[in-house]
């Protein structure tokens, strides 16, 4: 029995180590080129009952440093029942570059994809940038992201951090976003499209067409970002880049209530069941190896033997990821979050262990945005 436990432990440690090496080397391999070209750009914002947020978002978009004559703003008012539409129309009167599309009812299981599809069909820009109505993109956002579109680049993924809203739950979700950004950069460094966040992505309009748009994933509630990016990687030869520059980061607000957090977390996990099998195997292997290492650490502490081994195991578990996160957080201006990293490991294991079965098998509603 002891031999079996040791064997499983060695396998788990080996798998964990190989995944860490994969991420580390991926970040080193990541390289992005820049161009000074200024193509015509379309920014698409989807809004559903966003009366509290839409004005701030539009102010930020209208004040972009990108040449105004080469920028159009398309707002898709998606079945809003508050006064979101009134606010949008007020801005439209003040800025002729703003176009408004109103959706009275959706015809898909995924309202977000339906709204984006409607918006994209009206765009005139060569490059499409998408963000959410509860976001405030920095003034150089469009300029920074567009500068990454070299002739061979078809899609650019940006960092999408979260703002703290409390002292204990939201910092853990901020680490979540930090880890997602590191994962996106590392995997794209290997040329593998795994994850991205819809509030900060951009792609050529022709790439959307060549990839078949959202066809094949239109029935899935989530995936207007990562599942679409995976389609682009599979069905086209375009390069996908990741931009780390803090001036291109688009923040959103972390959920305040537990109910909003749980719904969002389940929604994110639920989308992974549609990932390619190799990506699913990678995620499961990473999670299982982590669980085994932590379990082994706890067992060693409980039986009161092998304290030095336990400490070595703990350091092996925490330090490599913390070192990589330190570099990424420094590059993105998030270094202050590292103090929460050890607590995030506990949060990550518990939430995935208990929420994954429900998220992968149960029904998930899109629901209202937490800030609405």
Residue after which a domain boundary falls, among 253, 277, 296: 253
**Domain ranges, residue 351:** 1-30+161-195+255-372
Shared-domain flag, residues 183 and 202: no
Shared-domain flag, residues 220 and 343: no
With contact defined as beta carbons under 8 Å apart, do 116 and 214 qualify? yes
CB atoms inside a 10 Å sphere around CB 352: 17
CATH number for position 150: 3.90.550.10
Shared-domain flag, residues 202 and 262: no
Burial of 7 (0-12, 13-18, 19+ CB in 10 A): exposed
Shared-domain flag, residues 224 and 281: no
Instruction: Give me the number of domains the chain comprises.
Output: 2
Residue after which a domain boundary falls, among 211, 237, 253: 253
Q: Where are the alpha helices (DSSP H) in 224-306?
A: 226-235, 258-271, 277-302
Shared-domain flag, residues 105 and 152: yes
The confidence score (pLDDT) of residue 367 equals 46
Shared-domain flag, residues 189 and 226: no
Shared-domain flag, residues 134 and 281: no
Helix (H) or strand (E) holding 29: helix 2-29
Shared-domain flag, residues 185 and 216: no
Residue after which a domain boundary falls, among 236, 253, 270: 253
Shared-domain flag, residues 106 and 43: yes
Helix (H, G, I), strand (E, B) or coil at 190: coil
Shared-domain flag, residues 249 and 296: no
The confidence score (pLDDT) of residue 1 equals 65
Shared-domain flag, residues 336 and 305: yes
Instruction: pLDDT tens for the chain, 372 residues: list them.
Output: 667 777 877 888 888 889 999 999 999 999 889 999 999 999 999 999 999 999 999 999 999 999 999 999 999 999 999 999 999 999 999 999 999 999 998 766 789 999 999 999 999 999 999 999 999 999 999 999 999 999 999 999 999 999 988 888 889 999 999 999 999 999 999 999 999 999 999 999 999 999 999 999 998 888 999 999 999 999 999 999 999 999 999 999 888 777 777 777 777 777 888 898 889 899 989 999 988 888 888 887 777 666 777 778 788 888 999 999 999 999 999 999 999 999 999 989 988 888 777 656 655 554 444 433
The confidence score (pLDDT) of residue 233 equals 97
Shared-domain flag, residues 276 and 151: no
Q: Give Cβ neighbours of residue 187 (< 8 Å, ≥ 6 apart).
A: 26, 193, 194, 195
Angle at 31 between CA 42 and CA 201, to 5 degrees: 25
The confidence score (pLDDT) of residue 370 equals 41
Structure confidence by residue, pLDDT tens digits, 83-138: 999 999 999 999 999 999 999 987 667 899 999 999 999 999 999 999 999 999 99
Interatomic CA distance for residues 29 and 21, integer angstroms: 12
The confidence score (pLDDT) of residue 108 equals 67
């Amino acid at each position: 029995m002891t031999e079996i436990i040791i064997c499983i432990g060695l396998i788990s440690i080996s798998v964990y180590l190989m995944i860490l090496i994969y991420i580390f080397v991926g970040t080193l391999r990541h390289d992005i080129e820049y161009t000074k070209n200024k193509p015509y750009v379309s920014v698409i914002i989807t809004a559903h009952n966003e009366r509290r947020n839409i004005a701030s978002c539009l102010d930020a978009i209208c004040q972009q440093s990108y040449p105004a004559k080469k920028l159009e703003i398309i707002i898709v008012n998606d079945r809003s029942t508050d006064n979101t539409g009134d606010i949008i129309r007020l801005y439209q009167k003040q800025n002729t570059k703003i176009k408004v599309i109103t959706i009275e009812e959706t015809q898909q299981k995924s309202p977000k994809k339906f709204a984006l599809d409607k918006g994209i069909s009206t765009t005139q820009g060569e490059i499409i940038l998408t963000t959410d109505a509860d976001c405030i993109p920095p003034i150089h956002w469009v300029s920074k992201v567009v500068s990454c579109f070299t002739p061979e680049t078809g899609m650019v993924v940006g960092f999408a951090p979260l703002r703290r809203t409390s002292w204990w739950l939201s910092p853990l979700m901020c680490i979540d976003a930090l880890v997602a950004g590191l994962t996106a950069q590392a995997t794209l460094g290997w040329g593998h499209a795994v994850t991205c966040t819809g509030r900060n992505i951009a792609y050529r309009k022709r790439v959307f067409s060549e990839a078949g748009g959202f066809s094949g994933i239109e029935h899935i509630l989530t995936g207007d970002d990562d599942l679409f990016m995976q389609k682009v990687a599979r069905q086209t030869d375009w390069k996908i880049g990741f931009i780390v520059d803090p001036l291109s980061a688009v923040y959103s607000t972390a959920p305040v209530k537990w109910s909003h957090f749980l719904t969002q977390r389940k929604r994110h996990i639920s989308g992974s069941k549609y990932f390619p099998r190799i990506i699913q195997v990678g995620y499961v292997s990473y999670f299982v190896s982590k669980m085994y290492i932590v379990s082994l650490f706890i067992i060693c502490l409980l039986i009161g033997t092998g304290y030095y081994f336990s400490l070595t195991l703990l350091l092996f578990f925490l330090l490599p990821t913390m070192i990589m996160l330190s570099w990424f957080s420094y590059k993105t201006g998030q270094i202050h979050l590292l103090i929460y990293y050890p607590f995030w490991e506990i949060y990550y294991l518990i939430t995935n262990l208990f929420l994954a079965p429900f998220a992968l098998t149960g029904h998930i509603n899109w629901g209202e945005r937490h800030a609405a």
